[in-house]
Amino acid sequence: MSDPVPAPPPGYTGAAWLPRHVAIIMDGNGRWAERRGRPRLEGHAYGAQSVREIVTACRELDSIKALTLYAFSVQNWGRPDEEVEHLMGLLLDYLVEEKSTIMDNGIRLQAIGQIDRLPAKVLGQLRYLEELSKANRDMTLTLALSYGGREEIVLACQRVAARVLAGELAVEAIDESEIEKHLYTHDLPPVDLLIRTSGEMRISNFLLWQVAYAEIVVTDVLWPDFRRPELYASLEQYKGRQRRYGLTGAQVTPPSTGS
Ligand code: FPP
């Protein structure tokens, strides 16, 4: 018999304090396997199981409206061919096997990054599921694939420059919202919570613009071991944070005046 699914802690489901947008750097698959004397590829396969569980768990909480997963960076193309092929295979399996979970749970799936570099089969299934799920509104699952944060900002700059050259935009009119319009994530809320597994204190070229005011939780847990309890522990840390956006603590939480 399989273990019972851990329920969210009391008061979590539908809570207003929950982050609207959670982004995750899924790290540590290789080390997870190496610690067990297993090939790295096995770590990725278990990591794909974590993806399945965390997507469902976030959706169950209801208030999380966007989940963005760093599944493959532009720089990851430089890994050994066998590893890249294995990751692409896992991705394809995920897109095929999770279709009903995505549709039954009102999840809109999209991918961001240099998507055209993906193998034709993966790209085809991705485009199919993006189209099929595009009207879903309960949560947006964004897979960052062949993604780089600097590359995304360069692309946005090129698009803004093209508008200036076409006479559609004055240089003085370039502001944050103009840049944001041209980012892959233009229709997502800002990232509230960035989680990184495996203890590394790095951003690794992920959502550089979007994490400007995100709360960051780094856990030593390796991604294949990151399941519901670890998600709830990260959310509990987030719950205790005071978000200040450059203001003072007193400004964002004025002292209570009593009754
Ligand atoms: C980082 O671990 C992880 C990746 C580069 C790939 C993430 C992929 C998955 C979780 C599985 C497939 C994805 C989906 C969406 C089904 P690492 O290999 O860098 O680990 P290490 O730092 O311990 O070597």
Cβ(48) – ligand 1 distance below 6 Å: yes
Using DSSP, state whether 84 is helix, strand or coil: helix
Cβ(71) – ligand 1 distance below 6 Å: yes
Q: Residue 58's CB: how many other CB atoms inside 10 A? A: 25
Tokens at 143, concatenated: 């897979």
Cβ(68) – ligand 1 distance below 6 Å: no
Q: Residue 107's CB: how many other CB atoms inside 10 A? A: 22
Q: What pLDDT shows up at residue 3?
A: 74
Q: What are phi and psi of 217, to 5 degrees?
A: -120, 120
Distance CA 229, CA 8 (A): 8
Distance CA 53, CA 56 (A): 5
Running along the chain, 259 residues long, what does each successive block of 10 average in pLDDT? 82 97 98 98 98 98 98 98 98 98 98 98 98 98 98 98 98 98 97 98 98 98 98 97 88 66
Question: Could you identify the atom of ligand 1 that is nearest to the CA of residue 76?
Answer: 5
Q: Helices 120-132 and 81-97, interaxial angle, to 10°?
A: 30
Domain ranges of the chain: 21-148+190-240
Predicted structure pTM score? 0.96
Tokens at 249, concatenated: 């603590």
Q: What pLDDT shows up at residue 253?
A: 78
Does residue 148 contact residue 205 with C-beta atoms inside 8 Å?
Answer: yes
Q: What pLDDT shows up at residue 244?
A: 87
Distance CA 89, CA 22 (A): 25
Determine which residue's CA is closest to atom 11 belonging to ligand 1.
48
Cβ(19) – ligand 1 distance below 6 Å: no
* Cα(47) to centroid(ligand 1), Å: 7
**Domain 21-148+190-240, CATH 3.40.1180.10 — does that match?**
yes
The residue to which tokens 């209570």 are assigned: 256
